[in-house]
Structure 1
Amino acid sequence: MKWSAGVLPLVTLMLLLIALNVGRQLFPREGPPAVLLAETDLIWIELGEGFARSGVYQFSDAQWWEGVISLTNLDCAGNYSGEIPDLVMPSAGIKLDLSCSDLNSLHISSAWMRAAKRMALGIPLHPDRMNLEDWQALPGIGPRLAERIEQDRQKNGDYGDFEALRRVSGIGPKRIDDWRGYF
């Protein structure tokens, strides 16, 4: 049998590719990182009314009240006693508004950031903490489906977890899989 001029380089190339593939399986390049990164306790908080510069900020949950209060432009912030309100605990994705009460004491209120902001920051969503506008931020949800989701929650109660959304007409396994990364 006579080999043509192109067969030998082709066989050599195929053997080289096979050896490369086997080598990658035997000796994977990924290993532990050169520098171990410590777990951080940073959380994203949106600062609203009462702040000199409203917007989304990152805080350490161990120091966050002191950091939040230092960003206010309110006269009553100096009357802050240093006690953390029971209802407002550090949690990624909350929005804080501060105001002065009639007695010139600091009043703190909280709500959840809009879903679009939480999604952009990689903060997981929870189906019981979303409103009509939040549902429409998810891909594939328009006004009608968002309304059905809200009506179902009003009629049948909170969802409890993400998988319970299947009970809504128009939400099947494919949509659940598409949205899984957001919850």
Structure 2
Amino acid sequence: MKTRTGHVVYLALALAVMTLPLLYKGHGTSPAEIPAVAFVRSGERPVSIIMITGVPERSGVYRIARGSTCQDVINMTLSHMPVTYLPTHIASRVLCDGDVVAIRKGNGEPYEISLGTLAVSQLMLLRISLDPNRMNVTDWEFLPGIGPELARRIVRDRQYNGDFSSFGELERVPGIGPKTLERIKEYFNAYNILK
């Protein structure tokens, strides 16, 4: 019995030692204690997953309300901070899953904002649906069962025959059959052309 109690005490101490540094650095605080940057808890309303970079203590992956614009995110991230002129087409752009809002500040200069997208490997890790019409050869190679030659064929087919109007239409590419589609289907599940 003493051995079991010793193990429990040892595990409790180990857990405390691992948790304390996280709490000290702010990583173990609850979402209510962290200044929220366009953060929406899942289940409350539809959300998009985006990444913000370049802002100390606020950079990271966020769930934002679907329909939020780049200007909305900037206002929440950089409230009361000077931002260089932001063209209307960027400020009013509705952010989608996988978008990246990169914020840079020069020495004593206002913040500069640029938009980008996450790499396919990051999208896959975050379980964000891939768009087969925006992927390049390297992107396709991340998927199971898709090698360099098949990836080139997929991109070449899309260039000559146009975008894929449905997920099943990938079968028009020589080398892709029902088994390959089944293997990669999970990465395209939320994509609006998946049929």
Query: 3-state SS of the aligned residue for 1:165?
Result: helix
Compute the TM-score of the two structures, normalised by the length of structure 2: 0.57
Following superposition, the deviation at residue 70 of structure 1 comes to 4.6
Name structure 1 gaps, 5 residues minimum.
Answer: 1-36
Q: Which residue of structure 2 aligns with residue 161 of structure 1?
A: 166
1:174 Cα shift? 0.7
- SS of the residue corresponding to residue 63 of structure 2 reads strand
Residue 77 (str. 1) matches residue 83 (str. 2): yes
Tell me, yes or no, if structure 1 residue 66 matches structure 2 residue 68. Answer: no
1:145 and 1:96 map into 2 onto residues whose CA distance is 32
1:76 positional shift: 4.7
2:144 aligned with 1:139: yes
Moved more, 51-60 or 167-176: 51-60
In the TM superposition, residue 168 of structure 1 has moved relative to its aligned partner by 0.9
CA radius of gyration, larger in: 1
**For the Cα contact (< 8 Å) 1:88–1:109, is it kept in 2?**
no
Query: Tell me, what secondary structure is at the counterpart of 1:127?
Result: coil
Residue 156 of structure 2 is aligned to residue 151 of structure 1: yes
- Determine the C-alpha separation between the residues in 2 that align with 1:148 and 1:55: 35
Specify the alignment match of 1:117 in structure 2.
122
Q: TM-score, normalised by structure 1?
A: 0.60
Distance 1:87 1:138, change over 3 A: farther
For residue 182 of structure 1, report the CA deviation from its aligned partner. 1.2
Alignment of 1:1-183 (within 5 A): 38-48=43-53, 50-52=54-56, 54-61=59-66, 65-71=71-77, 76-77=82-83, 85=90, 88-98=93-103, 108-183=113-188
What is the identity, as a one-letter code, of the residue corresponding to 2:129? P
| SS in structure 2 of the partner of residue 180 of structure 1 | helix
- Residue identity in the other structure for 1:89: V
| C-alpha contact 1:132 1:150 (8 A) present in aligned 2 | yes
Which is worse superposed, 59-68 or 132-141? 59-68
CA distance in 2: counterparts of 1:94 and 1:174, whole angstroms = 31
> Kindly tell me: are residues 166 and 54 of structure 1, through their superposed partners in 2, closer, same or farther at Cα, counting changes over 3 Å?
same
Q: How much does 1:46 deviate?
A: 2.1
Opposite residue 56 of structure 1, the aligned amino acid is V
- Quick one: which amino acid aligns to residue 156 of structure 1? N
Percent of aligned pairs with the same residue?
34
Alpha-carbon deviation of 1:96?
A: 2.8
CA RMSD of aligned residues (A): 3.5
Report the AA paired with residue 161 of structure 1.
Answer: S
Deviations 1:124-174 (A, max 9, x none): 111102122211111111222111111111222211221111111110011
C-alpha displacement of 1:85:
3.4
Within 1, Cα distance between the matches of 2:166 and 2:85?
A: 40
C-alpha separation in 2, matches of 1:169 and 1:152 = 9
**Contact preservation (8 Å) 2:52, 2:62:** yes
Count of residues in correspondence between the two structures: 142
C-alpha distance in 2 between matches for 1:62 and 1:148: 35
Partner-residue secondary structure (3-state), 2:48:
strand
